[in-house]
Structure 1
Amino acid sequence: MSRLAKKPITIPSGVEFKFHDQIVTVKGAKGTLSKEMPKGISIAHSGNELSITIDENQLDYPMWGLHHALIINMITGVTKGFQKKLSLVGVGYRANLKGDTLELALGFSHPSLLKIPTGIKVTVDKNVAILVEGCDAQQVGQFAANVRSIKPPEPYKGKGVRYENEVVRKKAGKTAKAK
């Protein structure tokens, strides 16, 4: 049973919350997010607090904490937003924005092109730093993971696309045989 989900969620000022037909809609300064809730979960909304309850079915207990966290992420997303920072490490690696497409030159024979989804804002700083911002945590994280998956950091020199504070474990190279 989730201990965190028992606590009520406080809705900050400037955030509009609606729960109708098992669909949660959160509207704020950064945008609007909607999520469908499963049938075993119900939400009581009073003033600026939410409380999530579940049916007494044991199978719904794991969903209780999950959807509590998802609603908190929705509220955080429409108030503060989420961001992921990526950096390109390697000689000649660079990124450019062309309209709604991110163009990455990562040492392949051709540039890699990624279409930026709606709801995501991407900025490129000095051709080697990429900032991905948006109000949906899942969408921001997924786009950043898609960018990283094109050329993840390799373990010998650490070249590739990495998250800002990611520590890449390096391996020792080959050593000569002793004669």
Structure 2
Amino acid sequence: MSAETTSKPASKFVESRVGKAPVQLPAKVSVKVAGEAVTVSGPLGALTRQFKGVTFEQQQGQVLVHAVENTRSGKALHGLGRNLFRNMVQGVTLGYKREIDILGVGFKAELIGQSIKFSIGFSHPVHFVLPKGVECKIEKFTHLELTSIDKEVLGQAAANIRALRAPEPYKGKGIRYTNEKVRQKAGKSGGKGGKKK
């Protein structure tokens, strides 16, 4: 691994509690640092990301993330950088998954190549093109399983799919994350009988 090392800052303030925790590297994961670009490779693939405000150091099967600046923003970048790096390691090792359910009479989804065709109550089908690196399986036309090694790309894809027909507040029909609790409103009911005396 190519690594950059820096001396520890004099002040403890910059040492984010999250950022200073080492990230363990599984046996089949390798890391390459080239300036601000960090590439993490593992059994499921490789991810590259630009990091600002931090440097990386490998020590006996783990990686330490160091802050560059002794400032509040430096502390924030320290914790964020460590979490993003950890997500990359987990992504190339285990991957990530988001599950989505479609509720509604006649509502369904079909996978056509790298595109999903949704029939969700509109006068026309809605087509959603899966981002690069995101795969999808559909069960019984109403349950989607999205997988990717990139946690951020996967999360954004799932959010975009949900936004195609967000669950409505009365009957809950629409697209929702599996196990998502949708706050529902009571339906309006018309009064019967004459006026009050």
Q: Same fold (TM over 0.5)?
A: yes
Shift of 1:151: 0.2
Letter in 2 for 1:44: E
Q: Of 26, 46, 50, which aligns to 2:59?
A: 46
Q: Deviations over 1:10-61 (max 9, x none)?
A: 10111111112121100011110001111x3111112311111112431211
* Larger gyration radius, structure 1 or structure 2: 2
Bigger Cα displacement from structure 2, 3-12 vs 132-141: 3-12
Does residue 55 (structure 1) correspond to residue 68 (structure 2)? The answer is yes
Letter in 2 for 1:142: Q
Shift of 1:122: 0.6
- What residue is the counterpart of 2:181 in the other structure? 167
> 1: CA distance between counterparts of 2:84 and 2:43?
18
Superposed, which structure 2 residues align to 1:12-161 within 5 Å?
Answer: 12-38=26-52, 40-58=53-71, 59-161=73-175
> 2: CA distance between counterparts of 1:56 and 1:25?
23
Q: Deviations over 1:120-146 (max 9, x none)?
A: 111111100011001000011111111
Q: Which has the higher strand share?
A: 1
Q: Deviations over 1:134-176 (max 9, x none)?
A: 1000011111111100000001000000000101111011133
TM-score, length-normalised on structure 2? Answer: 0.87
> 2: CA distance between counterparts of 1:176 and 1:107?
26
3-state DSSP of counterpart to 2:19: helix
3-state DSSP of counterpart to 2:188: coil
> 1: CA distance between counterparts of 2:31 and 2:25?
8
Letter in 2 for 1:33: L
> 1: CA distance between counterparts of 2:143 and 2:61?
39
> 1: CA distance between counterparts of 2:63 and 2:114?
37
Letter in 1 for 2:62: E
> 2: CA distance between counterparts of 1:147 and 1:69?
25
Q: Which 5+ residue runs of structure 2 have no aligned equivalent?
A: 1-13
Q: Which 5+ residue runs of structure 1 have no aligned equivalent?
A: none
Give identity over the alignment, percent: 37
> 2: CA distance between counterparts of 1:35 and 1:115?
23
- Aligned residues: CA RMSD: 1.2
